[in-house]
Amino acid sequence: MRKTKRRMETLSFYDRTGVERHLEKMAAKGWMLDRVTGLGWVYRRIEPKKLHFSVTYYPKASDFDPGPTEGQQVYHAFSAHAGWQYVCSWAQMQIFCTDQPDAVPIETDPEIELENIHAAMVKGFLLPYGILLAIGLLWSAMLVHDIGDDPIGLFSSVTNLFMAVVWPLLALLCIVEIIAYLCWRARARKAAVRGEFVDTPTTRPFQRVIFAVCMAAFAVQILYNVTTGSPLLRVVSIVMVLYMLVLTLAVQGVKQLLKRRKVSRGVNRAVTLAVDVVLAFAMMAVIVFGTIRATQNGWLDRNPPADEPPLTLTDLCGDELPEAAYQSDWTGDVSPLVAVYDGREWAHPTGHRCGNPVARLHDYRSQAACAVRPMPRAAPCRADR
């Protein structure tokens, strides 16, 4: 039987009500929160019991702290005196539990609580979400432009489709989270004047849907690149997935290691950031250099195996075609929505000269776009000479 388990929880940082209720349900199932990391929430097995949780905020805390600061220790001692046992921290969020149904609440002043939550939100939530929102809106605007400028090129690329799904959803997520928090804060400020607390709204179901759609889009992108892409694209797709996993594990591992070693907040932050930047650039340089060398040495082909084009120079010119060595390829960009094919044919003279203008005909390009599902019996095609 497992003693611990790790879960990715979709809970807003300010949603103290949602966190409290979720942890109460987990304790009733026999799981107590042990710690919160960048790789998920870690739970340890306990005897199922009915516990009450309280979530408070200490704005001076940081996720890089090696442990509770002196101020936090005083705060935890005060909470323990009131019957609340310290569980763990999530940056500025402090989590406590008790088995006493009538324990004195830790927070007794709604105005002070509101100030602490807002200070914590400004420090660790609003700025990152604002930056992510700006990037998401920028990408969304670029995608709208591409729809009007080159819709076939947009919808025939699995990577472009992934971006078209993920970035608007991330922008929507940021908008919903920011608006939900600001609306709750406006209500809570009015209630605080009357000495009342207001439960925080939960966006957990909405976050779950966004997370599931983004992960599905990512899986489809990798699957299509691996199954239908060129050998080079297949290798690059797999390597980039490993790159993201290794970088995430390395950065989180360094941060947790320094925290266990009781390294100060400032040193931990500086070292973790340095490892993130240096490792990211070093790994990317190795990937780029490796793929270039592999392509130059012929180990990886830029294009998938070519098929015969549906239209050739022989079909266009017949007997008037001059004597030469001809080479052709037929490639395509395929997505779940659209397929775009590109055909080329080159003439390599064999020494025979011909005054016929047809002899100057060296290549042609044909492009075809068709829906993959349902696939028509004959794809529309246009050839330009």
Q: Is 260 exposed, middle or buried (0-12, 13-18, 19+ CB in 10 A)?
A: exposed
Tell me which of 121 and 362 has the higher pLDDT. 121
32-57 core/surface letters (b: 16 or more CB in 10 A; e: else): bbbebbeeebebeeeeeeebbbbbbb
Q: Is 253 exposed, middle or buried (0-12, 13-18, 19+ CB in 10 A)?
A: middle
Average pLDDT of the segment spanning 174-183: 95
Q: How far apart are CA 345 and CA 328, in angstroms?
A: 4
pLDDT in tens, 106-119: 988 999 999 999 99
Q: What percent of the chain has pLDDT over 90?
A: 50
pLDDT-derived band of residue 43, with 50, 70 and 90 as boundaries?
Answer: very high
pLDDT at 378: 40
Do 171 and 137 form a contact (C-beta atoms < 8 A)? yes
- pTM of this structure: 0.77
Average pLDDT of the segment spanning 344-352: 67
Domain coordinates in residue numbering, the chain:
4-98, 109-225, 229-303, 313-384
Average pLDDT of the segment spanning 268-273: 94
Do 23 and 15 form a contact (C-beta atoms < 8 A)? no
Is 50 exceeded by the pLDDT of residue 237? yes
Q: Would you tell me how many other CB atoms lie within 10 Å of the CB of residue 6?
A: 12
End-to-end CA distance of the chain: 70
- Cβ-Cβ contacts under 8 Å for 267 (sequence gap 6 or more): 258
Q: Would you tell me how many other CB atoms lie within 10 Å of the CB of residue 375?
A: 9
pLDDT at 293: 86
Average pLDDT of the segment spanning 325-334: 72
Q: How far apart are CA 168 and CA 143, in angstroms?
A: 9
Mean pLDDT of the chain: 83
Is 80 exceeded by the pLDDT of residue 67? yes
